[in-house]
A and B are shown apart, each in its own frame.
Chain A
Amino acid sequence: MRMFLTGNHAAAYGAKLSRPQVIAAYPITPQSPIYEKISEWDGQGALGARMMRVESEHSAMAASISASLTGARTFTATASQGIALMHELLHFASGMRVPIVMVNVNRSLAAPWSFWSEQTDSLSQRDTGWLKFYVADNQETLDTVIQAFKISETVFLPTMVVLEAFYISHFMEPVEVPDQKLVDDFLPPFEPAFRLDTDNPAAFSQTVTQSQYAQFRIQRHQAMEDALEVAGEVDMEYQKAFGRGYGLLESYRLEDAETVLVTAGTIGCTARVAIDELREEGKKVGMLRIRLFRPFPKEQLITSLRHAKKIAVIERNLSPGQEGIFCEELKSALYSRVNGIPVCGFVLGLGGTNVSPLHIKKVFAITEQMNEAPLKPILNIEDEDAFGI
């Protein structure tokens, strides 16, 4: 059924269609509408899951881990300070191999207080052992939530579906909401390999020896590597069943592109418009959108970018003292196989400021004139003289 939905409600529909059994969450702007929509269904008796209204995000994740350990399919959602508060338990979730699916609505972290879009909250959780999808629109939000359950429950790792505050969370778009039957066929009930079972009592995550710990860490890493293949397969399967697929990377007019804009999230949608216009001007430009950030699809990236002459990374986050995190990750991936492609890092849209097609065209112009990749991120493209444009 086609519905006119905000990104938050698309996420809520994606969760509901996946038939979770436990949802433990705590409301926070801009995630609250997800919580509210699920609460509304709960109030109507239409949720089919046990909703736990907990006292904090830390508790939300603790409850989710425990619920998942019992074999219940578990969903939660948070944002910003909320995911920061969860941090400790995010490690627990992946270490305990629970396939929780969590939506994180990217919001700037304090201080100072701000409520707008920025990716630092989820990127700060880079090494927690969660799979992370960065989606670009409302439809992709819904579809990725359903896919995430299947991937997570296959590799026994939790998955984060990340969408940007307001650009996705509060904007309404037409969204195709699939039939429940179709989703049920795609996503069978969760059958964990191990679960909390009162008939066979066991302690989970007890203290282990040094070598056991090392082994568990390596196993988790291997599962993450496996998840790359699984995620690709699940996406293809999804495309077959629902007619929509996204790949782990979105390539846009990349075939003969000499300059490639690399980005993640909603800037990808804006970039398509700018690229269409630039192509009309005869510029050989394309776009690569990173959809799966963990596990990082290195091989696919290298393959896609091998023939690029120049690369510009545009992103809505900044690691103080370094650069944009996607840019850093991209350079790291390229370094081992492809040398010499200048990569220019642009940090735009911090604090939810708008990144328009015009901005993207400027990025392209700056990159085209660049002969040597700058060591520092470019933070300001407003001052045209600085780039000789």
Chain B
Amino acid sequence: MVMRYRPRLRRDDPFVAISCDNSLSFKTGTQRSERPVFINKIAPCRHACPIGIDISTAFHLASQGNIDGALRTYLQDNPLPGVCGRVCYHPCEAECSRGNFDESISIRSFERFIADHGQVDIRGDVPIHSRKEKIAVIGSGPAGLSTAYHMARLGYQVTIFEGRSEIGGMLRYGIPSYRLPQSVLNRDIQRIQSLGIDIRGNTTVGKEVSWKELSSFDAVFLAVGLQSGKILFEPFGVDFPVISGLEFLADPQKWSLSDSTQKTLIIGGGNVAIDVARTLLRVRNGNGGNITVICPESRDQMPSLSEEVNEALEEGISIVNGWAPDKLHRKDRKLVSLDFYQAEVRIDETSGTLEIMRVGKKIKNLAVDKLIVAIGQSMESDILPPGIEVKGGKVVVDEWGRTSLPKFFAGGDAIGEKAFVADAIASGKRGALAISCFLQGRDAVSEFQAYHLGKSHTFSFRHFIEGPENDSVDLKRVVSFDHINTLFFSESPRNNPDRLDPGTRKSTFEEVTCGLEPRQMEEEIARCFRCGTCIDCENCLDFCPDISIIKDAGVGMYGFDSDYCKGCGMCSVACPRGVVEMVEETI
């Protein structure tokens, strides 16, 4: 009967192809002509950041709920995250790869968020006062604070000399508090101070302290900035009330400008001019009817940040473009009006200098009671050590910030860096590297080259401190949008911070821009591609057809099993963020 039937082969002689062995004997690795390389790279945001902050790593830590870790990452390079989170011109966002996909990440809002919400005590992270060398920093603006901070992190003993009563330089005396609250500045400064930095306020070197007395220091960093507002019409005499924009900002209440019926002209198209106008508006309790900003540049050419210009316009400031000052009219020694000629501005791309050209014969006459000038800053002549070489109003330095005087370095506005906070901080950071190399007899050029980021002008301070062998990141390689596998991302709109309503904010010095809410920030953090930064998504592990990805291959990075990896490249394609790449096998 049927059940008698058995396959002709016995049960132990299978009629099905079965292998109880495994396929490990097939060393498919011999088929490989390319091999995967797992290495973190630089995100475009970091590459664009003058300070070189490791933004993608910070986002990654924040995505794990580690806001403190994110802040600590920022603090590796930037001592002033609270400040930059508010006033930075965020070139990072312009280069953000996400901008090619939908909209760039709100990176500046992120910096502000982690600065406001993170709690980091960095004292334990650095060897405070572990070195005997003493460093003097002259000036406490962003460049000086940056140098002092990084030198202190390296273990040097740092003293800051500041002529004013409080430290912060332009951050405190130049940026209005509706953009940068004093409390935020103080918080960043306190953190810097906590590294055991000796701060001497009300101490102008050359007055309260002589330059000679600085000879006990092993190095001096000059970060004196540009203190004086340039004054227009000097040839016409000084007996009419021209106020420097910078001086106004340093103490807006002292200039008796609160009378809103006084026609006030502000000449200039930079951030200071806009800051002056908006500050004056607030001094006048929101009544901006008689406040006019006028400059020869067109609206697009104005050097001030466009968001500042837009906010000023929203607040009712009138901005007149394309007119340059010509003649002034006085009556009874009192200024009554100013003539402006129609102008065009040509900007020299390389030097950044302006050429103002008259066009046509039109003259605009504007009645004026008060005139504020904000057309740039200059250095006070007596602020520098005697004998130092100065050219064109700037301290002459080599590429490492060394001045003509031995042991004297300089940075920031004083050497003609870009006049942004971030660039000043970057300048201070470079100064710290240079001084440290100088004192230790190391070659600053090779040190900088070892740790500098891609083709940028900055470097990774963490790598400078820790040395090259500490993790798997190629500082020279920048991940472009082409390396992002966008299949793993879905579109989602950018979260922009709320701003106070113009009607409300114009009569108060309250901060205009609000921080992102935690929920919004969470969305922004999730939006970040984290370009070039392995986040353990394990896509490579999941997609590898040969089960040849090794999760822990040392230095916290993935690797591959050379015996079995066929070099198919799936891991490289499946990597959403450009960490895995295929290179030709060289055996």
In chain B, positions 56-77 with a C-beta closer than 8 Å to chain A are none
Residue numbers in B under 8 Å from A193 (CB-CB): 7, 11, 14-16
Residue B22 lies at the interface, judged by CB distance under 8 Å to chain A: yes
Identify the closest chain B residue to A193 (Cβ).
B11
Q: Does A156 contact B (CB under 8 A)?
A: yes
User: Could you tell me if A154 and B20 are in contact, using CB atoms closer than 8 angstroms?
Assistant: no
Q: Which residues of A contact B23 (CB under 8 A)?
A: 203, 206
Q: Which residues of B are found within 8 Å of A194, using beta-carbon distances?
A: 14, 16, 18
Contact A201 B5 (CB under 8 A): no
- Quick check: A202 and B11 within 8 Å, CB to CB? no
- Contact at B15–A154, with CB atoms within 8 Å? no
Q: Please, which residues of chain B bring their CB within 8 A of the CB of A222?
A: 8
Residue of A nearest to B21 (CB): A203
Q: Is B190 an interface residue (CB 8 A)?
A: no
Asked if residues A230 and B22 are in contact (CB atoms below 8 Å), the reply is no
Residue pair B8, A154 in contact (C-beta under 8 Å)? no
Contact assessment for A219 and B2 in the assembled complex, using a CB-CB cutoff below 8 Å: no
Q: Which of B1-55 contact A (CB under 8 A)?
A: 1-3, 5, 7-9, 11, 14-23
Contact with A along B123-143 (1 / 0, CB 8 A): 000000000000000000000
B2 touches A234 (CB 8 A): yes
Residue of B nearest to A97 (CB): B16
Contact B15 A203 (CB under 8 A): no
B526-569 vs A, Cβ < 8 Å mask (1 yes, 0 no): 00000000000000000000000000000000000000000000
Using Cβ atoms and an 8 Å threshold, which residues of chain B touch A233? 1-2, 5
- A154 adjacent to B2 (CB under 8 Å): yes
Q: Does A205 sit within 8 A of B, measured CB to CB?
A: yes
Q: Is the CB of A156 within 8 A of B17?
A: no
Residues of B within 8 A of A161 (CB): none
Q: Residue A216 at the B interface, CB < 8 A?
A: yes
Proximity bits, A200-215, B CB within 8 Å = 1, else 0: 1111111010001000
Given contacts A193-B11, A203-B23, contact A155 B5 (CB under 8 A): yes
Question: Distance in Å from the Cβ of A322 to the closest Cβ of chain B?
Answer: 34
Task: Tell me whether B7 and A237 are in contact (CB under 8 A).
Answer: no
Whether A226 is near chain B, meaning CB under 8 Å from some CB there, is: yes
Nearest-neighbour CB distance to chain B for A340, whole angstroms, equals 37
Contacts of B7 in A (CB 8 A): 155-156, 193, 219, 223, 226
Closest to B18 in A: A202
Chain B positions 278 through 290: 1 when the CB is less than 8 Å from some CB of chain A, otherwise 0: 0000000000000
Judge whether A150 is part of the interface by a CB distance below 8 angstroms: yes
A12 interface residue (CB < 8 Å to B): no
Tell me whether A96 is interfacial, beta carbon within 8 Å: yes
Residues in chain B near residue A206, CB distance under 8 A: 17-19, 23
Q: Which residues of B contact A203 (CB under 8 A)?
A: 18-23
Q: Are B9 and A219 in contact (CB under 8 A)?
A: yes
The residues of A that contact B18 with a CB separation of less than 8 Å are: 194, 202-204, 206
Closest residue of A by beta carbon distance from B2: A233
Whether the pair A150, B2 counts as a contact (CB closer than 8 A) is: yes
Report which of A200, A201, A216, A234 forms a contact with B15, defined as CB distance below 8 A.
A216
Q: Name the interface size band of chain B.
A: 10 to 19
Interface contact A230-B2, CB-CB below 8 Å: yes
Is there an interface contact between B15 and A237, defined as CB atoms closer than 8 Å? Answer: no
A202 and B15 form a contact (CB under 8 A): no
Supposing A219-B8, A219-B15, A226-B8 touch, asked if A200 and B20 sit within 8 A by C-beta, the answer is yes
If over half of A's interface residues share one DSSP class (helix, strand or loop), that class is named, otherwise mixed; here it is helix
Q: B21 — which chain A residues lie within 8 A by C-beta?
A: 203
Q: Are B16 and A96 in contact (CB under 8 A)?
A: yes
For the complex, what is the distance from the CA of A203 to the CA of B23, rounded to whole Å? 9
- Complex: how many Å from CA A95 to CA B16? 7
Contact B17 A223 (CB under 8 A): no
CB distance from B9 to the nearest CB of A (A): 6
Are B17's CB and A208's CB within 8 A?
A: yes
Knowing A155-B7, A233-B1, A237-B1, say if A223 contacts B15 (CB, 8 Å).
yes
Q: Which residue of B lies closest to A95 (CB)?
A: B17
Q: How far is the CB of B365 from chain A (nearest CB, A)?
A: 79
Q: Which residue of B lies closest to A192 (CB)?
A: B16
- What residues of B have a CB within 8 angstroms of the CB of A155 in the complex? 5, 7
Does B19 lie within 8 Å of A237, measured CB to CB? no
Bound form: Cα–Cα A201–B19 in Å: 9
In the assembled complex, which residues on chain A have CB atoms less than 8 Å from the CB atom of B2?
150, 154, 230, 233-234, 237
* Chain A residue nearest in CB terms to B5: A154
Q: How far is the CA of A234 from the CA of B1 in the complex (A)?
A: 9
Evaluate contact between B8 and A202: CB separation under 8 angstroms: no
| Distance to closest chain A CB from B225 (angstroms) | 68
Contact A204 B15 (CB under 8 A): no
Chain A residues lying within 8 Å of B20, measured Cβ to Cβ, are 200-203
Contacts of A200 in B (CB 8 A): 20
Distance (whole angstroms) from the CB of B15 to the closest CB of chain A: 5
Q: Could you tell me if B17 and A212 are in contact, using CB atoms closer than 8 angstroms?
A: yes
Q: Decide: A156 near B1, CB < 8 A? Known: A203-B23, A219-B8, A226-B8.
A: no
Cα distance, A201 to B7, chains bound together (Å): 23
Contacts of A223 in B (CB 8 A): 7-8, 15
Cα–Cα, bound, A46→B22 (Å): 41
**Minimum Cβ distance to chain B for residue A178 (Å):** 18
When chains A and B are docked, how far (Å) is the Cα of A271 from the Cα of B7?
38
> Could you list 17 A-B pairs, sorted by A, with CB under 8 Å?
A150-B2, A156-B7, A194-B14, A200-B20, A202-B18, A203-B18, A203-B22, A204-B17, A205-B16, A216-B17, A219-B15, A223-B8, A226-B7, A226-B8, A230-B2, A233-B1, A234-B2
Besides A95-B17, A233-B5, A237-B1, 19 other A-B contacts (C-beta < 8 A): A96-B16, A155-B5, A155-B7, A193-B7, A193-B15, A194-B14, A200-B20, A203-B20, A204-B17, A205-B17, A206-B19, A216-B15, A216-B17, A219-B8, A219-B9, A226-B7, A229-B5, A230-B5, A234-B2
**7 interchain residue pairs of minimum CB distance:** A206-B19, A203-B19, A202-B20, A97-B16, A233-B2, A219-B15, A202-B18
